[in-house]
Structure 1
């Protein structure tokens, strides 16, 4: 629990969450801004951070933060990320001790040098984790994202759909933050699209390894998906006079560009159609079997 010194008395901020959104009641308008409260603690919202209409007695959802003077403030602006979230943020300035990132409000987010996986450069963007410095209540950023992810108690299973934030490229592929909580890997040989750090993608859990590592894919997997893809292939065959110029030896890129699926998923779907005697298959084409 952080103890905030307002300059008059020490106030324990028990209900107000610094670095997050809070519902506060408008107390009154002053010369410098709008005074808010949670019932115990008063917070100032400067007029340049306040909505055009602020009526005493109304409740308002605001973002609260500590400024560099150690004063708790509120804003009606919406930041790109709050405490406990990962985000892709641009560096707007650097100093000898750290870097300042654009948070989307009239306050930059500080990333100390100790929290930089690699030295940050002005104008570049990085995936960072936003956390609270418990010693002074200030929001900080860290690009050492692996230090802030959960490594067990996964809230998903294999084949589940998840949200991915691409964090960085490695020798094996792309690391990605899963549901703002875990980290996994997209292997290079399974990425057929243009993927860049900072991209937010829909993905699927391909495999959860014994040691806790998570393999990801950008294509849905499982029997249900194969059924859907079989229907898509059949419709495409019927639209193109019974012929698709893709087969077992076609490249993964050609298949992905045509159907947005992996070659493995393509093979499984075509194999299902072949077993049902609906198509014939060769190295570079699929043909619809003529009806009797």
Structure 2
């Protein structure tokens, strides 16, 4: 099925001076302009193309790479503002419009915003909106505690970051759950720490304890190997120093050192930790 606002693999059915025409099924023949036609393309060739409406409302194909597809959230930069609205760079020659009635706050040229890409019901054109609440489910998601999820950070608050969970639900990533640099618009792997009675989802970037320790053990051993088998970051090290080097809490770090010590891989001394030589 041919889908507007998405990538489609379509067959070339006709060559012309303007480019090539592709079999668009119910949409008929769709032009891929000459400047986007790969060398060696002939009738019968199958091409991976993105479909959208051009400035003349004609359905057109491109081999350019769109930064997001219909129904997706993305962080995009404003490249122009005029009487029609704000225009975003989304990787295609034709910029993506954010109409004024779809702007939560007035958009400024040069700044980046998290937007949702939708299709206008009347014009069928693709457009974007910063009114994200319209496109995120009001119903709480059904999550298990410490379930692995995909996150998109949308804005910073006094509590931490507001995030869209699995492209569908709202969640909050609190400051005390962040042990590395993050930014608005960043996509991350996170975990559901708790689902509140009101349906709100509290998030963390820290994996379940056992998984976190397994991952950190490898990092600690590599850190020691890279530093002649010694590190000042022992079990009494400053939490900020641990966070700076390993991007984890002191609690997780101490648990990891204990695991490595019990396994006979390190020694824990008053001045730091040492890598034990293999027998």
Q: Under a length normalisation based on structure 2, what TM-score does the superposition of the two structures give?
A: 0.81
Q: Of 178, 199, 208, which aligns to 1:212?
A: 199
Q: Of 25, 31, 38, which aligns to 2:24?
A: 38
Query: Which residue number in structure 2 is paired with residue 111 of structure 1?
Result: 98
1:23, 1:38 within 8 Å by CA — same for their partners in 2?
no
CA gap of 1:246–1:45, structure 2 versus 1, over 3 A, is same
Q: Give yes or no for the alignment of 1:250 onto 2:235.
A: no
Query: Which residue number in structure 1 is paired with residue 15 of structure 2?
Result: 29
Matches within 5 A, 1:127-276: 127-152=114-139, 154=141, 157-226=144-213, 229=216, 244-247=232-235, 250-251=238-239, 253-269=240-256
Q: Which consecutive segments of 4 or more residues in structure 1 shift more than 6 A? A: 234-243, 271-276, 278-282, 285-288
Query: Which stretches in structure 1 are left out of the alignment for 5+ residues?
Result: 1-14
Query: Which stretches in structure 2 are left out of the alignment for 5+ residues?
Result: none
Is the partner of 1:226 in helix, strand or coil? helix
Mapped partners of 1:81, 1:191: distance in 2: 27
Q: Tell me the CA shift for residue 189 of structure 1.
A: 2.5
Q: Under a length normalisation based on structure 1, what TM-score does the superposition of the two structures give?
A: 0.78
Q: Of 45, 49, 52, which aligns to 1:65?
A: 52
1:93, 1:100 within 8 Å by CA — same for their partners in 2?
yes
Q: Tell me the CA shift for residue 100 of structure 1.
A: 0.2
Mapped partners of 1:136, 1:200: distance in 2: 31
CA gap of 1:279–1:109, structure 2 versus 1, over 3 A, is same
Aligned residues: 272
Mapped partners of 1:42, 1:237: distance in 2: 62
Is the partner of 1:223 in helix, strand or coil? helix
